[in-house]
A and B are shown apart, each in its own frame.
Chain A
């Protein structure tokens, strides 16, 4: 079975500071990895995805993530936090032939002015 671990349910970051959200996955087959963002009263929106091409993936809103097989990680970063980045972020994993996503528990990001 595939799974994702996201530590720290709440993450506080100062405006202009680095945003770093950690995601570690478990998969017995090559994974596909996704980061989603959820704003209040909305559904999940895709930020970026890794599907076995470049290991450094750039997404929307200035976010990027790096796939590291040796560390089974797919951490999400943004160099400079903006107030509009306050939201909940979910990491998810699937694999070839299996489009069922396994989601992490999410990180609630608070941006401090």
Chain B
């Protein structure tokens, strides 16, 4: 079975540039989550979708961050303009339902470095 697929695996770019991270959830999963992981703050939930609709975006740090899910098989997280403090590993996860008892399945992450 294909797991959650994220691209790119690594991204290095200069401050001020637009960054787009991509995620393909597991087929049949209807919940999708974006996380950010840093040494200082640990694992933070940025936003999650259910049936392609954003349910909770309270973790999005500021207006420079935006996320979309145009269909059940694709989501993007965009940062514009990027700043050095956005450097982190960004994870996408998906789960089969909203019951709360379903585990989330994580991708391998995108390691983002903003110079």
The residue from B31, B91, B103, B107 contacting A34, defined by CB atoms under 8 A apart: B103
Kindly identify which residue among B42, B45, B56, B91 contacts A43, using a CB–CB cutoff of 8 Å: B91
| Beta-carbon contact of A43 and B43 below 8 Å | no
CB-based contact B100/A43 at 8 Å: no
- Decide if A97 touches B100 in the complex (CB within 8 Å): yes
Beta-carbon contact of B108 and A100 below 8 Å: no
B109: chain A residues within 8 A (beta carbon): 41-43
A97 contact from B4, B98, B104, Cβ within 8 A: B98
Interface size on A, residues (CB 8 A): 24
Contact with B along A79-98 (1 / 0, CB 8 A): 00000000000100011111
B100-A95 in contact (CB<8A): yes
Bound-state CA distance A46–B96 (Å) is 14
A22 within 8 A of B: no
CA distance A95 to B100 in the complex (A): 5
- For A95, the chain B residues whose CB sits under 8 A away are 100
Q: How far apart are the CA atoms of A32 and B99 in the complex, in Å?
A: 10
Residue of B nearest to A101 (CB): B104
B97: shortest Cβ distance to chain A, in Å? 7
A105 within 8 A of B: yes
Question: Does A103 reach chain B (CB closer than 8 Å)?
Answer: yes
B26 to chain A, nearest CB (A): 12
A44 to B106, CA, bound (A): 6
Residue of A nearest to B92 (CB): A43
* Bound complex: CA A106 to CA B4 (Å): 22
Q: Is B102 an interface residue (CB 8 A)?
A: yes
**Contact yes or no, A51 B42, CB < 8 A:** no
Residue B48 lies at the interface, judged by CB distance under 8 Å to chain A = yes
Which A-B residue pairs are the 5 nearest by beta carbons? Answer: A43-B106, A51-B101, A94-B100, A44-B106, A46-B103
Q: A44-B91, A45-B106 are in contact. List 6 more A-B contacts (CB 8 A).
A: A41-B109, A43-B109, A44-B43, A90-B43, A95-B100, A100-B45
Interface, chain B (partner A; CB < 8 A): 4, 31, 33, 42-43, 45, 48, 50, 56, 91, 93, 95, 97-109, 111
